Amino acid sequence: MDDKTLAQKIVAGVGGKENILSLEHCATRLRFKLKQRVKADAEVLKQTDGIMMVVESGGQFQVVIGNNVSDIYKVVQQEIGLDNETSISNESAANGSTDVVEKDNIFNRFIDIVSGIFTPILGVMAASGILKGLLSLCIACGWLSQDSGTYKLWFAASDALFYFFPIVLGYTAGKKFGGNPFITMAIGGALIHPLVIEAFQQSTLLDAARTDFLGIPITFINYSASVIPIIFAAWVSCLLEKKLQSILHSSIKNLITPLICLMITVPLTFLVIGPIATWVSQMLAEGFLAIYNFAPILAGAFMGAVWQVAVIFGLHWGIIPVSINNLAVLGQDALVPLLLPAVMGQVGATLGVLLATKETKMRLLSGSAVTAGIFGITEPAVYGVTLPLRRPFIFGCIGGSIGGAIVGYSLTLVYSFGLVNVFTFTQIIPETGIDFSVWGAIIGTFIAFAFSTILTYFFGLPKVPVSQSAEVTTSELHIDCQTPDNNTVLSPMSGVAISLNDVPDETFASGLLGQGAAIVPAIGEVRAPFDCEVSSLFKTKHAIGLLGTQGIEVLIHVGIDTVKLNGEYFTAHVKEGDEVKAGDLLVTFDRNSIIEAGYDLTTPIIITNSDEYPDLHIIPQTHSIHAGQPLLSVAKQHTEQ
């Protein structure tokens, strides 16, 4: 599917352009803020080729794309009529939109604000942190001297973003709060202006003269690399700006509004906002440090276990600012090293799948996911490989917990911010050189990686008894169709019956589409499981819907992702509206060709109206099953004797 078609499907899936309040993207996700969630169709998007997963968290409707998210983001912008980063919410307000916007709770609003402020600069933050780490490695190994011109230029490149953080965050915070980002960027610039830095340095001298603003004494603080003060200052400035825009005449507001915002907000920041926000920053950093020092092993085990779960739901944005604040206030952070085993645990689990699976498609998917995971992008691994298979994801979390405990015991620190990836090892090297804390991080991460790889390789994949299905030869594949009663669904194909929980597709395995069972077919035939009407037949012929005379609705979906074959290798022997008897041939397919094309033929048989049949049981006591034998027993309610 080309980018334009995918973008159109995404816009339609979120309820259309008119339902979009704002759009952002991070390393792998499109992050929508919607007016009305009910207009979005997450299930349709989940089944769209090119979309890994849809997550609703932090007040955002998140569409997980993968590493090419920036390309899709640009095309989606074009589809909704934006060629820049203008907020759609502002545009709607200008047009007098009266659509009702669903309210978020405080936590969701916090997550949305934090992600909106830091997402645009996440890439350059990671690059700056990696460059700092590589310079530390060069110094530790004696490859560079701090007095050399090479070191100074590269250090300037790595440190510039963090030194001028108030200016950069002033811009992104201004955009997020709906104000003029250049006003808030100017406020950030005032915080680190040379005159202010000089006044701060002089204020540290005992004989320094007092400085005041209109008679009010000023407490100068070094705001370079600070985070929280400029965010609060930007929020205040944007509130003031919106108020002024509503009361000033249009002929003067474009000039007077920025003037008043600067004249009021900058002094207010130095006198009130800055000192209070700085105190909050210090309390946050010291509070985290106190908790960490109380039980570093427990902290490591906990973060190693839950970090990837937090990433799935987008909740990690509530944790990332803690790390950034620690670096700004303390110059070091103990949180990021604890996350290394969590990331590499999922990479190891994905490698275990790569080594264990025989399916061509899964090998390609897991291979690319391992590469992306090494560099800190775990969404392809989690959404595409470990989470659908369940056990690999659990093994990755357990490995992360074990490794995190070891890293916590080692009291490892990181000295620059960046995505948690293989380069993080260079960012944990202190100025004194490689020590026990560095080796502790390496050992803990390796154990997490090895543990999850080994357990996934031996126990991570569903144990489908292939030997049994291979023993069912063509001569044995007779149609032993029994007369069904009103509570029985016969097997539509011959092969190996497995639990729906073991289907390697989250949508089916989770029961979102209904309860049922699955079969790994040994022959390419689908037969009617009862007397029924063909209620739907997909144009790709890979799936068929049936309505039984007793009211049971069944979906038979041949294979996983076989919709991508566009009907190739499938032949339908019925059409919509046909009435068939139990055992009648419905669809045939070329089993070997589909397998060679890299597709999993596990076939879910779903009772789509299973909410009407709470009493549902799988009948087979053994894995092997023939078409026409009882597969499911369903009942609308238990019959009391």
Which residues are within 8 A (CB) of 452 and not within 5 positions of it... i.e. 6 or more apart? Answer: 345, 346, 348, 349, 352, 392, 395, 396, 398, 399, 400
Active site residue 238: no
Residue with tokens 């979120």: 14
CA 158 and chain centroid, separation: 27
Identify the burial level of 457 via C-beta atoms within 10 angstroms of its C-beta, where 0-12 means exposed, 13-18 middle and 19 or more buried.
Answer: buried
The residue annotated as part of the active site, out of 26, 238, 397, 532, is: 26
Q: What angle do CA 413, 414, 420 make, to 5 degrees?
A: 120
Other CB atoms within a 10 A radius of the CB of residue 329 amount to: 22
Pairing of strands 553-557, 495-499: unpaired
Kindly give the residue spans of alpha helices, DSSP state H, lying in 295-330.
Answer: 296-312, 320-330
What's the order of all strands across the beta sheet hosting 29-34? 20-25, 29-34, 60-64, 53-57
Residue with tokens 């996700």: 29
Question: Do 150 and 135 contact (CB within 8 A), yes or no?
Answer: no
- Which structure tokens are listed for 400? 């992360």
Other CB atoms within a 10 A radius of the CB of residue 214 amount to: 6
Q: Which H or E element spans position 588? A: strand 585-589
For residues 195 and 117, give the distance between their C-alpha atoms in angstroms, rounded to a whole number. Answer: 27
For residues 567 and 571, give the distance between their C-alpha atoms in angstroms, rounded to a whole number. Answer: 8
For residues 295 and 366, give the distance between their C-alpha atoms in angstroms, rounded to a whole number. Answer: 36
- Which structure tokens are listed for 568? 């190739």
Residue with tokens 């530790």: 140
* Catalytically active residues, by annotation: 26
